[in-house]
Structure 1
């Protein structure tokens, strides 16, 4: 009887192994989809923190630059006059490597004080912004009513174009001018070149930044000589710093003592509004080599 040859066992196709591989890949894809939003959120948070840190750094640098500008203006009248005259046209910009520095220095005596000026002067200023005569007069009366604790019944009865539920008390910021319907289309930086909270008088004792208003001022009470005004200047300084990923600013109102060659800061605050300068030039030509070198060292250690 012939020997029987044992049969070899059949090999089954690896169906189980293939299914396990597909299951692992599917799990990894689901896990990646689940994890992706958290990764994106982490990246966004890290970028936000980085931008906030950069903005804080630029805020402090802008404040230091304003302090240095104030100190030099108090000691050097010609430097003060140079900055004031340059800013009459527009904010001035210069470059420090990849950083754009924009500065604006305004004499507060050339601006209309929101809490002191007469309705007639306010109306003239509003007309220089392009408002019609009746719009300017109504808005000026509404502004006087706005800054008064007691509502002016006569002004209220005229249904002046203002926002509802407005407060009644002194202006605290030029931003509040956007409470008035006729002024809402006007950019805040343009309003800030006409109005202020820091003119120590109710009139303009210096040339307005708006030529049309300057021509109209002959119809308003002429300014009187003031020895105290000659002994000191009240100026505002706005400095902004911009990079590709950050923005910083500082706004100050300072009183410059022309007799003792000193200055004192009345107001300091941060601005979130970007200023566009008239030109981009080296900062040494605008601020001088000393301040330019100080700024560059602080911004690019």
Structure 2
């Protein structure tokens, strides 16, 4: 039988992880927040060099309600998750959950929910894609048929999508072999190539698509169905590192309060001219 001293030592060793777990529970007072700054109206840098948009209005209100000191840092989109994992950021904005991202990071509750569609030249061959304006999930037979119809209509065309996005994953997964896919560091770069005639369509978030169509003086338009489901990350959330339940709880509480009292709806209507806030 083990002596009391050796038993005590063994119990102490067993207890260390438990005590360590208690000691490392973080009392969050401040967070560093990463944002692309090139995805209006979600986020963009204005003429004064300030970051603005729906994401920033949401985050400012979250920080106020959660009593967090929030530092905003602008950085390229494709480096957001690596920077989060490396500890440079504690939160990243405009992050949509999908199976691949869920393997490496966690997410807050959504603050808006947005489908994807195509931005195309208004006078081009893709101006009236199949199922234009229909709200469809690719998880349904109707949505799957729409994707097949789109693949046929897009065959031989060149599509643009941003790196590290579920839109790019969707295009590659569903239209590989039928289209040429060009990738960009930001939605704005893809948009510029579309305006310059170097690509035939841009697959992106409907809010970005509508905003760019509105500002094009009739040169561009939204075309095709409004798609959700599958690999697409249409819930817009705050991205956080895994195993940080305290921070997730703080963020979720603030977002739920904003949903319940209509604050998210007001911010959505301010920036999108429509209510895309989560509904219970």
Does the alignment reach a TM-score above 0.5?
no
TM-score under structure 1 length normalisation = 0.27
Greater gyration radius: 1
* Larger proportion of strand: 2
TM-score under structure 2 length normalisation = 0.29
